[in-house]
Amino acid sequence: MYKVYLKKNEEKRILDGESLVYANEVLRIEGKDKNGSLSSLYSYDNKFIGRGYINHLSKVILRVLIRDDETIDDLDFFIDRINKANNYRINLGYENSYRVVFSEVDLLPGLIVDKYGDYLSIEISSLGMELKKNLIVDALVSIFNPVGIYEKSEMNLRIKEGLKDESGVIYGTIPNEVIIEENGLKISVDIINGQKTGYFLDQKENRFSIRNYTKDKVVLDCFSNTGGFSLNASVNAKKVIAIDISEKAIENVNRNKELNNKDNIECIIGDVFEELRKYKNNKTKFDVIILDPPAFTKSLSEVKDALRGYKDINALAMKLLNENGYLITSSCSHYITIDMFLKMLIESSKIAKRRVKIVEIKTQSKDHPSLLQSNDNLYLKFFVLQVE
């Protein structure tokens, strides 16, 4: 087993609860083992900190998952860890569809597991978890007895870990469509071709909360994706217009309309920026506008451009609202901090020349918790604003 020794004072962050050890924090490595193996971590003064999977090819050289002197990472270990993560969600009332495991927050760094009814979708982003994939699958089968498990491990992080993208059925069978229940609605999920693990579960509570603002209103849902916000708005709205540039996404909105017998949703295939400018030119206004775009940035180098895009679209949306209308706006990029997002909204209100009230500030659903000592997992910003 490798023994990894940290430089002086570099252990503080890990002792506070973070899991990722970076190569530039390491003083020396002793011993010899296979890359990806379970390795022990020590402070500069030789105090044991924990154990994790090592990867010499990555800037994140160690991902800590064991905090005591435990050395076994067998099937029982993974069953226990996944059960603890799942029980946290069950105790909060999650049943049909939810995130079961959220990487290092659940002490399983590099592993994400989402549940869609009788099916599971997993994402593996680290070498250590890749090497334990068979044990992870066996643990999931033991706990959930799913009809099928699908792997969607396709992200830049795998390249940094020295891994290739992997996707496909790894247990049982996966249909082209899985119908889940969310907030009393039926949602069609395409686990195989859908974004991320199939559906954006992290906005569940936020989608439900918008019903407080949509009663008898005309609602514009921008970047609608499969229509989660549109469907929740349609429960009590007068009319909902869903816009997305993806033809496939709009097909999914129409499918979800059909499943829930919602005839007050109108769908438009188009570029949101262009469609908003058309509404501005035509002097068309709305009571509620929802902005839930994909991440405008996936790296620190793109933050400046991303903030410019957020500012442009939020300012335009503010101009398109009726008096005292609601702007429901969010960002899913963890590179955009809440302070950055708030500053951007202030600048947007100045451009729009509108007085704006903050009504609600929320983050991701409770099945996507974040670690207090590290804000990397606190990625979702969700604001409800009233525009005067």
Model confidence pLDDT, tens digit, residues 339-379? 999 999 999 999 999 999 999 999 999 999 998 887 677 89
Q: Encode 87-124: b = buried (16+ Cβ within 10 Å), e = exposed.
A: ebbeeeebeebbbbbbbbbbbbbbbbbbbbeebbbbbb
Assigned domain for 240 exists:
yes
Residue 331 corresponds to which tokens in the numbers above?
A: 């960002």
| CATH code (residue 217) | 3.40.50.150
Under the phi-then-psi rule, with left for phi > 0, alpha for psi from -120 to 50, and beta for the rest, what region is 27? alpha
Give every residue of the chain whose pLDDT is below 50, as ranges.
Answer: none
Quick check: 14 and 41 in contact, CB under 8 A? yes
pLDDT of residue 11: 93
Residue carrying the six token digits 């193996």: 37
Quote the Cα angle for 231-235-237, to 5°: 100
Residue 302 corresponds to which tokens in the numbers above?
A: 């793109």
What residues are annotated to the active site?
332
Kindly tell me the burial class for residue 265, based on how many C-beta atoms sit within 10 Å of its own C-beta (0-12, 13-18, 19 or more).
buried
Assigned domain for 365 exists:
yes
Assigned domain for 249 exists:
yes
Q: Indicate the residue type of 297.
A: T
- Alpha-carbon gap, residue 241 to 224, rounded angstroms: 9
pLDDT of residue 188: 96
Side-chain half-sphere of 331: how many Cα atoms within 13 Å? 26
Which residues are registered as beta bridge partners of 244?
A: 269
363 and 240, same structural domain?
Answer: yes
Assigned domain for 180 exists:
no
**Structural domain for 155, as ranges:** 75-172
Length of the chain: 388
Assigned domain for 87 exists:
yes
Average pLDDT, the chain: 94
204 and 337, same structural domain?
Answer: yes
Question: Which residues, 6+ apart, have CB-to-CB distance to 283 below 8 Å?
Answer: none
Question: Which residues, 6+ apart, have CB-to-CB distance to 272 below 8 Å?
Answer: 222, 223, 243, 244, 245, 293, 313
Quick check: 243 and 221 in contact, CB under 8 A? yes
- Alpha-carbon gap, residue 78 to 67, rounded angstroms: 15
| CATH code (residue 39) | 2.30.130.10
Q: Which of 172, 190, 220 is the last residue of a domain?
A: 172
- The count of domains in the chain is 3
pLDDT of residue 203: 96
pLDDT of residue 375: 67
The beta-strand segments (E) located in 125-224 are 148-153, 166-172, 178-182, 185-189, 218-222
